[in-house]
Amino acid sequence: MNASGLNVGVVGGTGYSGGELCRLLLAHPAVDKILPTSRGDQPFERNHRNLLGCGLEFVTPEQLLADVGDLDVVFFCTPTGEAMSVVERYLDHGVRVIDLSADFRFGDPDTYRAAHGLEHTAPHLLTEAVYGISELNRERVRSARLVANPGCYVITAVLGLAPLLTSGMASLDAPLHVSAINGTTGASSTPKRDVMHPHVFGSILPYNMEGHRHAPELEDVLGALTERRLTVDLNTAHGDFARGIYVQASVPLLSSARHKVDQSVLSDLYEQAYGAGHDGEHFVLLNDFPKSGKLNAKDYDVYPSVAAVRGSNFCHLGVDYDESRGIAKVIAVTDNLVKGAAGSAIQNMNTMFELPEIEGLRHYGA
């Protein structure tokens, strides 16, 4: 379905993801109307002061539903557990839905319950929902009525790990160790003392070390790609920056592959998967600058930087190889509010409506 002049609803327009979605949609040439929802009294521009002068106004969720016949697509930026109760009312009117919560990321209600502690109220939609990493699932996204947008940690880690884990070189029997640091916007816009500036500045705040809710999602997606049952040891923390995701993973290689691998082999593997520069996947770029060649040199710029992707829909990747231990190292960085949420959601919208995938997302990091 090719479209322009889209009328877009944003359910849950007060939070960081909803605000970022509106910011990006305002610059999208195919979007005609944006209707963000709120149950509060605060005007849109006071809630999102970076969008002062944009002219958007909140409507209530009930008002948005009343205008359902005029909508083309609705984004849900609501807490997990809310979208599943209302999504079908939009689908029944022919409106396509992109859910940024976790409500439709799993194919069965038992896995959803185990990860999020909730009973799913629309289990019949779980098998219809398409998991929305456009780079890996483009054709299914294109024809979908309902797209489940990935979690911010998950899309970053999956884009970083997919080429290596599907190459036949990685040892998949042991747990995959993934360390990830998120900006404080990843803690939501609800005030929390520990992520206030005086507490987080100059610090790292580990959380959910007993098991992060994105670990089952990561196991589910990577397991489907590799056709293996995987265990992911996901260790998460908030850093003293507002936005960004930093993922670092160590992947042991099979003994049969170790003597055949160096950094250049890994770089070639990733270029084959994603292309060089913008020749392949536009938003996935390999940070492949040469090292100085000096022993123990701290060549910081050969690896991706969170600051380099801030405000953009890009995922920057870096790969290296610890030859003495046979371990491949993968680094992936994204902006948690863009590629990790609103940007990938718009990329999915573009795919669904047969628009250029980069439309409204052409800008580089700030």
Active site residues: 152
CA distances from 280 to 194, 342, 361 (A): 41, 22, 16
If one counts every other C-beta atom within 10 angstroms of the C-beta of residue 309, the result is 28
Nearest CA to 313 out of 189, 136, 178, 135 is that of 135
112, 116, 117, 120 alpha-carbon torsion, rounded to 10°: -40
Classify the C-alpha dihedral 37-154-87-79 as positive or negative.
negative
If one counts every other C-beta atom within 10 angstroms of the C-beta of residue 344, the result is 27
3-state secondary structure of 227: coil
| Distance, CA of 306 to chain centre | 14
Alpha helical stretches, state H, the chain: 16-26, 44-47, 61-66, 87-91, 109-116, 134-142, 152-165, 197-200, 214-226, 255-258, 263-274, 306-309, 343-352
Distance in angstroms (rounded) separating the CA atoms of residues 110 and 112? 5
Distance in angstroms (rounded) separating the CA atoms of residues 350 and 26? 14
Nearest CA to 97 out of 348, 355, 360, 354 is that of 348
- Render 169-184 in DSSP notation, one character per residue: -B--SSPEEEEEEE-G
**Which residues are paired to 73 by β-bridges?**
8, 96
How far separated are the first and last CA of the chain, in Å rounded?
33
